[in-house]
Structure 1
Amino acid sequence: MQLPVFKNDKAAILAVFILMTILHSNAQEKPAVEKSQFKINVLLPGFVYEHGLSNKNTFYSELSSGYGYTSNSFGKTWIFYPYINEQFRHYYNLEKRAGKGKITSHNSGGFVAMSAFYNFRSISTNNNFLSENSSITVAPVWGFQRTYKGNFNLDLNMGVGYNFEKNDSGLVPVLNFTLGWVIGK
């Protein structure tokens, strides 16, 4: 096999440029988070919007509802409260998942995040129970998100945080689990 001989520098530069263009076009792109995605949470009814800030970082906003169980001298009851969850997420294993042939679309990967929950006062229909106070919880969390066939989505994250409440503040466990669908694409 004989290598081509170039008569001038311009032809050599053009050949190198064409070769680099071909190699670059055949190279796989690194996986990145979605620029934006909406989700519906059906487990605890609510909505989620996740906005991509860079290839591995997102801002996650969730408006959902929570449920709890409380008791006092009048008895026991379930409580219902809306909450807002804001997170700055860093997806740390997208390349590793893609290298193993696993799905990374719709931000399917593991992440660490700084999370802030705002729990509104509970909405209670029983006058014997006072509405619980609103509170803010700040926590570092670890979690993962997976989107399966049909855009079915599962998101779980957990950690330990500090809860700020009018009458009672302190360390609390944090667990957030959503089950729903990604809307679009």
Structure 2
Amino acid sequence: MEKHCVIFGNNIFSKSISSIEKVILVSLFFFGSYVGFSQKAVEASVEKSVFGVQVGPIGVWAHNELKLSNQIALRSEIGWGGVSSAHIEPLIALEPRWYYNLNRRANKGRRIDGNSGNYISFRANYRFFDISEAENNNQDYLILATSWGIRRNIGNHFNYEAGLGVGLGIRDEEGKEIGYTTIFNLKIGYRF
């Protein structure tokens, strides 16, 4: 049996250590090192301000995301879009986004620049007149929807977004019309 010295402060204690105790001590040392390193998690944050343009299957948009907290950004958007090429409408939108997985992405070494991550949002979208309907071009349309989506970077300035959501659509056509609506989002963009 070997004798080892264990030093605590200025005191030296002699103690016999068995093979099992050695395995336990070595395991605790390595596990403790792993836990110690894993506690140095990066506190990830959305960017202070992100400005860009995006195009989708039907539409083009300019947007800005303003940081409200480490994980929440307020997205404002203006553009032209619609449900088909026959119905193109000018629109404005306001959308607080909660980027819920930024810390996990940063800890795994994945990119979070340009607010690249998964998000949950509440979107208020106001569509003005429909340019395809000359006789009914005063049909305003408000959409209030909750959605889930992702944004990922392609290189330094390009990105893509995809998302799904559900909400209420409110149309002002000789009185109020309210109905359920779905949101599908697929865009490719350039970040300045």
TM-score, normalized by the shorter chain, greater than 0.5: yes
CA RMSD of aligned residues (A): 2.4
Bigger mean CA deviation after superposition, 84-93 or 131-140: 131-140
2:180 is aligned to 171
Structure 1 or 2, whichever has the larger Rg, is 2
2:97 is aligned to 89
1:108 is aligned to 116
3-state SS of 1:58 partner: strand
Question: Is 1:31 equivalent to 2:31 in the alignment?
Answer: no
**Alpha carbons 2:42, 2:103 under 8 Å: kept:** no
* Runs of at least 5 residues in structure 2 that lack an aligned partner in the other structure: 1-6, 11-39
Aligned mates of 1:37, 1:53 — CA distance in 2: 12
Residue pairs, 1:2-17, within 5 angstroms: none
Which of 53, 72, 85 matches 2:68? 53
For this pair of structures, how many residues does the alignment match?
Answer: 154
3-state SS of 1:62 partner: strand
Q: CA offset at residue 157 of structure 1?
A: 2.3
Q: What fraction of aligned residue pairs are identical, expressed as a percent?
A: 29
Q: Which has the higher contact order (CA 8 A, sep 6+)?
A: 1
Spell out, residue by residue over 1:70-122, the C-alpha distance to the aligned partner (whole angstroms, 9 max, x if none): xxxxxxx8122111121111110011111222111110100111110101111
Spell out, residue by residue over 1:27-73, the C-alpha distance to the aligned partner (whole angstroms, 9 max, x if none): 5641110000101113322210000111100000111111344xxxx
Structure 1 moving runs of 4+ over 6 Å: 2-5
Which of 60, 67, 76 matches 2:82? 67
TM-score, normalised by the number of residues in structure 1? 0.74
**Alpha carbons 2:41, 2:107 under 8 Å: kept:** no
Aligned mates of 2:67, 2:83 — CA distance in 1: 32
- Could you say which structure has the higher strand fraction? 2
1:42 is aligned to 55
Q: CA offset at residue 4 of structure 1?
A: 9.6
* Runs of at least 5 residues in structure 1 that lack an aligned partner in the other structure: 6-26, 70-76
TM-score, normalised by the number of residues in structure 2? 0.71
